[in-house]
Structure 1
Amino acid sequence: MNLYNDNERFISILSDYGFKVTFGNETDTRFLRRALQALIQSPVTITKVEFIESEIPGLTKDSRSGVYDIACIDETGNQFIVEMQLSKYPDFIQRMKFYSFYRLNTLIRKGKYRFEGLPKIYCIGILAASIFPSISDYHNVAVLKNEKGELIDDQTTFITIELSKFKKRLAYIQTDLDKLIYTMKTLHKATNLKQFPQFWNEEWLEAAIKELDTRAMTPEKRMAYEMTLSANALAVENENKKIQEAINLKNIETVTKSLKRGKLTIEEIAEDSGVSVDFVLEIQRSLAKNQ
């Protein structure tokens, strides 16, 4: 998924930069507040949000740490964790549980280990790919229920959006949730202003779109955008190096085993391992030196 394209006017909300200047915009929270309200399907307007610490420290030497993409609290004390996941992550729900349970543990400790009056925790995952192949809905809300579907507890609520399952055409989009998802999926492909959907003029979406318009960027925002592109390119390069190193290590192990067996020719080992003859000969020389 290419989220950065110099030929496109609008930056994708799904990109690191796009997510930061829309969902993570601390100076203008209009988009975030309306988006959160849509994601949790609440009729109550969220009038204020405060960003909170997004890093989870390890509680012990061996315990796991982590970083939320977004963590905030509304005016009533409800807590929100928002995570964006672009690549396939079958265990994503486990990560959401880890994050939400840490927040719950923090709230309980702050309340001197008392459980009454706890605020709600909404753990929201926005995923480009599907993690629930047996579920057709693109928006899912999960709380604790019994086998009859009766509610036991909703203090912690897990919400997932699987963007790949959203297939609604523009003519059928009415709710804020569908407007949000449609915008996330299509804005960076938009070119002709006359063809923009009418709802992109709504204040909350217009505020976000303005942040993503490359033609309206100030020099400072342009620099921040370019720095994000540079950081992402470096991250991709480093990740590719790690992948290549892992592949090379695996090839070395495979070729070494074949050479030690002594049953195949150099050419056969190279062909079976998917490497060059020179690669096999280099490993053979290295083994000979270490004998």
Structure 2
Amino acid sequence: METGVYIPIISDYGFKATFGNEADSLFLRTALQALIKSDTPIREAHFDKNAFEALTIDSRSGIFDLACTDENGSQFIVEMQLGLAPHFVQRMKFYALHKFNTVVERGEFDYANLPKIYAIAILAKSILPTAHFHTVANLRSESGEIIDTQLTFITVELAKFNKQVAEIETDLEKLVYTMKTLHTTEPTQYPAFWNEEWLKRAIDELDTRKMTPEERAHFARVTAANAEAVKAEKQKIQEVKLEVQMNAVANLLGLNTLTVEQIANAIGVSIDFVVEVQKTNTDKL
């Protein structure tokens, strides 16, 4: 991700420096209050372990970006997603239901007085068939009546937010505008609300001009590691795509009903690609 004066909040480094700032939780607490649309200030935020071990059939662990608990015991899971993730809702259900099971077991399977759980997803792209950038979902009846608010799913889709500075009023709008635009904004275009203490502290953490040499070195390491991870992921995607295409070509060749040209057009590959798969299959016989 390109970075100017300010590091993007939605980057790995930026998210940890703002939402995950354990030394100063003012931004996190105010952001959470805005995200859940609560009129009651969150006065404390205790950071929890943000991973759980070996829940899936192949013993892989689950990990989310941030987990914390407020002074009333309400549980928050926050996850950031930059790329397109059409099945992200399923991932958030997996995290939230695991957290639900955890709090029930801690109470020795007592379902009374369970704490509220908020599963918050902040997405750079759009995944829901809804028009608004901020969606709150609870268990409801077929007529829309609330059945339960103990478990709440909150989704923010940055791509759907298009308000200009003059139109922004609420803390939620200030938060989303900042997350979407900070890294592309010049200091001379500073919105007035960025001087509010909760935002000012977060922005200071992301101002490259104020970074110490150690912070710059750490940022460089994180950026390099993320770039390598993205490169590796793209390579895996290409390998999977290639395998799928090869299998599709091989299946069509096995039917003996289509020409090489027809197979190439049907799969969207070159004639040479089909010929190479044909040759490989012949050599195996």
Q: TM-score, normalised on structure 1?
A: 0.87
Tell me which amino acid in the other structure corresponds to 2:6: F
Task: Show the 5 A alignment for 1:16-27.
Answer: 16-27=12-23
| RMSD of aligned Cα (Å) | 2.4
Deviation for aligned residue 1:269 = 6.6
Which deviates more, 146-155 or 78-87? Answer: 146-155
The residue identity in structure 1 corresponding to 2:7 is I
State the Cα distance separating 1:70 from its structure 2 match: 0.7
Equivalences for residues 216-255 of structure 1 within 5 A: 216-255=210-249
Aligned AA (2:65): D
Q: How does 1:140-179 map to 2 (within 5 A)?
A: 140-179=135-174
Q: Quote the offset at 1:25 in angstroms.
A: 1.3
Tell me how far 1:132 sits from its aligned partner. 2.2
Displacement over 6 Å in runs of 4+: 267-272
1:247 deviates by 3.2
CA distance 1:138–1:254, shift in 2 (3 Å): closer
Task: Provide the C-alpha distance between the structure 2 equivalents of 1:61 and 1:284, rounded to a whole number of angstroms.
Answer: 37
Task: After superposing the two structures, state which structure 1 stretch, 42-51 or 244-253, moved more.
Answer: 244-253
1:132 aligns with 2:128: yes
Quick one: which of 2, 11, 27 aligns to 2:7?
A: 11
Identity %: 51
Structure-2 separation of matches of 1:19 and 1:60: 27
The 1:36–1:60 alpha-carbon spacing in structure 2 relative to 1, beyond 3 Å, is: closer
Q: Which amino acid aligns with 1:172?
A: E
**1:186 matched to which residue of 2?**
181
Kept in 2: contact 1:4–1:15 (CA 8 A): no
**TM superposition score normalised by structure 2:** 0.89
| Whole-angstrom distance in 2 between the partners of 1:147 and 1:290 | 57
Matched, 1:208 2:202: yes
8 Å CA contact retained: 2:18, 2:202: yes
User: What is the CA distance between 1:262 and its match in structure 2?
Assistant: 9.0
Give, as a single letter, the amino acid of the residue that structure 2 aligns with 1:242: K
Q: Aligned partner of 1:32: which letter? A: L
1:102-160 CA-partner distances (Å, limit 9, x unpaired): 11110110111101121111111111222222x22221222223234333221111111
Q: Deviations over 1:183-219 (max 9, x none)?
A: 011111111x232111111111111111111111111
| TM-aligned CA distance change 1:289 to 1:219, over 3 Å | same
Cα distance change on mapping 1:204 and 1:101 into 2, 3 Å: same
Q: Residue 87 of structure 1 aligns with which residue?
A: 83
Tell me, in whole angstroms, the C-alpha distance in 1 between the residues paired with 2:80 and 2:32.
Answer: 14
Shift of the 281–208 alpha-carbon distance from structure 1 to 2, 3 Å rule, reads same
Call closer, same or farther: CA 1:132–1:280 in 2, change over 3 Å: closer
One-letter code aligned to 2:173: D
SS at match of 1:211: helix
Confirm or deny: 8 A CA contact 1:258 1:264 kept in the other structure: no
Aligned equivalent of 1:56: 52
- Separation of aligned partners in 2, 1:49 and 1:19: 16
